[in-house]
Structure 1
Amino acid sequence: MTFTVAVSGASGYAGGEVLRLLAGHPEVQIGAISAHSNAGERLGSLQPHLHALADRVLDDTTADVLAGHDVVVLALPHGASAAVAAELAERSPRTLVIDAGADHRLESAADWERFYGTDHAGTWPYGLPELPGQRERLAGATRIAVPGCYPTTSILALAPGFAAGLLETRDVVIVAASGTSGAGRAAKPHLLGSEVMGGMSPYGVGGGHRHTPEIEQGLAQAAGEPVQISFTPTLAPMPRGILATATARLKEGVTADRVRAAWEDAYGPERFVHLLPEGQWPTTKAVVGSNHVVMQLAVDPHAGRVIVTAALDNLTKGTAGGALQSMNIALGLPEQLGLEIQGVAP
């Protein structure tokens, strides 16, 4: 069976990445391709790498355009997906709607209102299949909220330790560097090449980044109790990729062997998440353009902490790849379908 998939926000980085992956998916047909301010333009003028779709003209993002497809991917800025999704629920109730934005990720309305400043639109099944118990929630789902790129990296880095009961739930510290594509495609002076090249800078310092409650939510699901984190994002002079270093305090008596065994047990069966052999450390270049996550861990006996470093491509596994992986599960397709592309080197 072939499924029709519509993509909104197709002129942005996330929408373009969704289309790149869909173009190689053997069980889908790309339907409507839409945008807002760029409606009416030829896709190839905005996404010149999408050769097979270059002559498609962007429709406006409306429920009329998107309704009737088997799947709709909303690659829209936060706050923009909820209204479109609500219209689709009335016009096309059987359509699988996948929100690549933030609107439906958080379970806590208070957290949403605090960090985003608008009314909470509700919570959808969370599109991180490797989180314990999540595949069962995604199977047959008609609504999916794709995780943020920082939360994907951070949750995967530490979830095995919390699920195994090895880590303290307070004093969790995560510092992550992201490429500039994580900020979207809109022109911003601080993201100009001359501003970014040759330097790094922090932002959202002091608990102010919007992904903080989402990371805590995912880690709490793994732990079975609340988890408190300190999260600091940084901007790196690269177009795509995330390198996160996550540390947590070990519970009394937990050994390095038990720690490594927990991560091996969690990710040994996984197709897209890889604990590297001891002595090999992650690099963002190894995952560019792929749906893979690579990580390594170490135990610091002096500090009594585990340190996990993880790398992924923020546009692929961090957004579009996570969307397609979850879509496959919801539709009953093999989870890896359309996602077995390897990284690019050098």
Structure 2
Amino acid sequence: MPFSVAVAGASGYAGGELLRLLSSHPDFSVQTVTAHSNAGQHLLDVHPHLRSLAHLTLQPTEPDVLAGHDVVFLALPHGHSGALAAQLPDDTLVVDAGADHRLEDLADWDAFYGGEHHGSWTYGLPELPLAGADRQRSLLAGARRIAVPGCNVTAVTLGLAPGIAAGVIQPDDLVAVLAVGTSGAGRSLKANLLASEINGSAAPYAVGGVHRHIPEIRQNLRKAGAASVSLSFTPVLVPMSRGILSTATARLADGVTAADVRQAWSYYDDEPFVHVYPEGSYPKSADAVGANTALIGVGIDEAAGRVVTVTALDNLVKGTAGAAIQSANLALGLPETTGLPLDGVAP
């Protein structure tokens, strides 16, 4: 008997991607979809590509509409999940793709988000190394409240965490510059996302240490073993619908060799969705489009004494919806890879 599923915020990009992946998942059955301003519309009116779910109509995002399902995915803007989730039954698996339950430190929440802090949930990044322990995967089994990482966070964390865990890079001099597709900004109408504004252009945003994903990255790298983290993080909006290409660099620890670096990133050798490219090869953002993969190239800048990691992922799949389903699979005791695409889409 499939698990019954509701998706809140189904009219947005993240919600639509959740539905695309869930529609072919053998153990999940989407019963309910909800929205705010689009409530009352047929799902196909807002997501005409989801033909297999043509029978669904968007309902209001209210607790009584979501209650009664085995699994509830929340694809809502930050500040909208906390109060809603608190009204759902404790035995329901609730997976929050928004920011409300990611940060453990109240001071971080106040500094970067503000408003009521609803606490932290089990973190939905299975591949994250935990210093002196297992991988984050071990904490997801049986969880009933899961917080999905931010998409940029996933790219930077996966790129750098093995080096932190192995002690081959220094955590006090990290730099990350990301090329980010426009769907990461959501589906709401914004002037800077109009085709005439973004086509043929690249535009930095949240410059100078103010991006909301920074404390989450620092939190993850501390879990991987860093005593403290200093990170300069700059995202750049580029004219592609999907994708993130993160170039993250770190200073080599004293005495570390190229062989030590390769050995550190072999941490991912058995991971189904994180793949490290051969030495001298680096991914393109297009390599991961449509797939639940994070693709990583690792090199050394000998002159600068730095490790360079290049990580590509689809912000809507491994960066959001795929990560949510991957974590839900683990929580429910299903094979982790169930219903998730390994192959991307080209051209």
Amino acid of the structure 1 residue aligned with 2:334: L
How far the C-alpha of 1:48 sits from its partner, in A, is 0.7
1-side partners of 2:187 and 2:128: how far apart?
29
Three-state SS of the structure 2 residue aligned to 1:119 is coil
Measure how far apart 1:55 and its partner are: 3.3
**SS of equivalent residue, structure 1 residue 308:** strand
- Distance, in Å, in 1 between the alignment partners of 2:182 and 2:214 is 19
Question: In the superposition, relative to structure 1, how do residues 128 and 104 fare at CA in structure 2: closer, same or farther (>3 Å)?
Answer: same
| Structure 1 moving runs of 4+ over 6 Å | none
Deviation of 1:181 (Å): 0.1
SS at match of 1:307: strand
Q: Out of 94, 99, 107, which is 2:96 matched to?
A: 99
CA shift, 1:189, in A, is: 0.4
State the 1:33 CA deviation: 0.6
Does the aligned pair in 2 maintain the 1:6–1:72 contact within 8 Å?
yes
Contact 2:14 2:321 in 1 (8 A): yes
Q: Mapping of 1:1-346 within 5 angstroms?
A: 1-88=1-88, 92-132=89-129, 133-264=135-266, 266-346=267-347
Give yes or no for contact 1:151–1:215 (8 Å, CA) kept in 2.
Answer: yes
Conservation of the 8 A alpha-carbon contact between 1:45 and 1:54: no
- Give the Å deviation of 1:279: 2.5
Is contact 2:293–2:342 with CA below 8 Å preserved after alignment? no
Instruction: Judge conservation of contact 2:171–2:226 (CA < 8 Å) in 1.
Output: no
Counterpart CA distance in 1 for 2:116 and 2:226 is: 27
- Partners of 2:93 and 2:231 lie apart in 1 by 33
- Is the CA contact (8 Å cut-off) linking 1:47 and 1:54 kept in structure 2? no
- Identify the range of structure 1 (320-329 vs 293-302) with the bigger mean alpha-carbon deviation: 293-302
Structure 1: 5+ residue stretches without partners: none
Paired with 2:238 and 2:256, the residues of 1 have a C-alpha distance of: 34
Amino acid paired to 2:336: E
Percentage of matched positions with identical amino acids: 60
- Residue aligned with 1:243, SS: strand
* Contact 2:273–2:342 under 8 Å retained in 1: no
Displacement, 1:341?
4.4
What amino acid is aligned across from residue 318 of structure 2 in structure 1?
Answer: K
Maintained 8 Å contact 1:179/1:239: yes
- The letter of the residue matching 2:20 is R
Q: Give, as a single letter, the amino acid of the residue that structure 2 aligns with 1:94.
A: D
**Does the Cα contact within 8 Å between 2:122 and 2:143 map onto a contact in 1?**
yes
- Alignment partners' CA distance in 2, 1:119 and 1:301: 46
Q: Match of 2:246, as an amino acid?
A: A
Query: Once the 2 structures are TM-superposed, how far is the Cα of residue 72 of structure 1 from its aligned partner?
Result: 0.2
Cα deviation, 1:12-45, whole Å, max 9, x if unaligned, reads: 0000000000001001111111001110001101
**Is the 1:23–1:30 Cα contact (8 Å) retained in structure 2?**
yes
For residue 136 of structure 1, report the CA deviation from its aligned partner.
1.2
The answer as to whether partners of 1:11 and 1:35 remain within 8 angstroms in 2 is: yes
Question: Aligned residues, how many?
Answer: 342
Q: Deviations over 1:206-256 (max 9, x none)?
A: 001000001111111112422121110110100010000000111100011
1:164 to partner: Cα distance: 0.5
Cα root mean square deviation, aligned: 0.8
Distance 2:68 2:29 in 1: 13
Kept in 2, the 8 Å contact 1:152–1:318? The answer is yes
Structure 2: unaligned runs, 5 residues or longer? 130-134
State how far apart, in whole Å, the 2-side matches of 1:213 and 1:294 are.
23
3-state DSSP of counterpart to 2:217: helix
